[in-house]
Structure 1
Amino acid sequence: MKLKNPMLVVRDIDQSVEFYNRVFGLHVIMDFGANKTLTGGLALQTAETYQEFIGDRAISFGGNSFELYFEEDDFDQFADRLKGFQVDYVHPVKEHRWGQRVVRFYDPDRHIIEVGENMKAVCRRFLASGMTPDQVAVRMDVPMKFVNACLR
């Protein structure tokens, strides 16, 4: 058994393809019309065809119980670039207790998207600020092995 792809049900597949291309640079690598797979493995399925798959069950959007998670090496650049898009934010950029900065927003079908600062970048940011490796490990709640790997 092998997990292949996360698949999102979307109302307008062309609008979703455009969104994921503009915001993340993802491109269609397989196009089956009502189902498209994007670079990175994200699959999109039209709501009409998915409804056929599941029968009379309702499709709900915006349940706030699932998210797609992306990591970004240059988080500041991404957060600045994101301001140029018309996105509905779940919350603005915030820093979690372990130091990782994240932003969450909705795609056109109200699926939550989280973009987080790459954890190695968080580690390097703390080290560059003058923290010792031991202090970074405590601040991030990670093993020293992770901090040492970031030093390489």
Structure 2
Amino acid sequence: MNFASVRIITDGVDRLVEFYEKVLGVSAERPAPVFAEFVMPSCTLAIGHSQTVQLFGAGSAVAADNRTVILEFHVHNVDAEYERLKPFVVEWVKEPTTMPWGNRAVLFRDPDGNLINLFTPVTEDAIKRFSGRL
């Protein structure tokens, strides 16, 4: 089994697509107005309108109601990304900080309130842990 993607359910597909295009520096693929994908080497981030949940017969996904998942992206330089994103990120949760497990990280919310963590391994152990993974 291969992990394929993470999907965010939203009522504001265009708004989230615009936000993630700025954060990720990648253009979204839009096979339908209610769906978008950011295809990256390590995984795909999908964004689907709340209407798409009905197609799966699953009524349990609620747009902008997530308080348990953090989307994490490995970046080359957390501090540089923080400076780049300052003009359009509205809610910062944690400014760049070196975490006890050896990653330098910054945490913020997307327009729907989903948490995003950008991180860079900075200690020898963290760098070793991520070598070959990404």
TM-score (norm. length: structure 2): 0.79
Q: Which residue of 2 aligns with 1:26?
A: 26
Task: Tell me, in whole angstroms, the C-alpha distance in 1 between the residues paired with 2:39 and 2:28.
Answer: 6
Q: Larger % of helix: which?
A: 1
AA of the residue aligned to 2:95 = P
* CA apart distance, 1:46: 0.2
* CA apart distance, 1:89: 1.6
- Point out the structure with max Rg over C-alpha: 1
Q: How many residues align?
A: 127
Q: Larger % of strand: which?
A: 2
Helix, strand or coil for the counterpart of 2:3?
coil
Question: Structure 1 stretches (4+) deviating beyond 3 angstroms?
Answer: 51-58
Q: Which residue of 1 aligns with 2:82?
A: 79
Q: Which residue of 1 aligns with 2:53?
A: 50
Task: Tell me, in whole angstroms, the C-alpha distance in 2 between the residues paired with 1:58 and 1:32.
Answer: 19
AA of the residue aligned to 2:16 = S
Task: Tell me, in whole angstroms, the C-alpha distance in 2 between the residues paired with 1:2 and 1:58.
Answer: 23
Q: Which residue of 1 aligns with 2:95?
A: 92
AA of the residue aligned to 2:20 = Y
Q: Contact 2:10–2:63 (CA<8 Å) still a contact in 1?
A: no
AA of the residue aligned to 2:74 = E
| Alignment RMSD | 2.4
For 1:71-126, what per-residue CA distance to the aligned partner results, in whole angstroms no more than 9, with x for missing partners?
A: 11122211111212232122222221133211111111111110001x2xx14xxx
Q: Contact 2:79–2:96 (CA<8 Å) still a contact in 1?
A: no
TM-score (norm. length: structure 1): 0.70
Check 1:58–1:29 CA distance in 2 against 1; reply closer, same or farther (3 A cut): closer
For 1:16-51, what per-residue CA distance to the aligned partner results, in whole angstroms no more than 9, with x for missing partners?
A: 110011122121235222111113211110012224
Instruction: Give identity over the alignment, percent.
Output: 26
Helix, strand or coil for the counterpart of 1:84?
coil
Q: List runs of 5+ in structure 1 lacking aligned partners.
A: 124-135
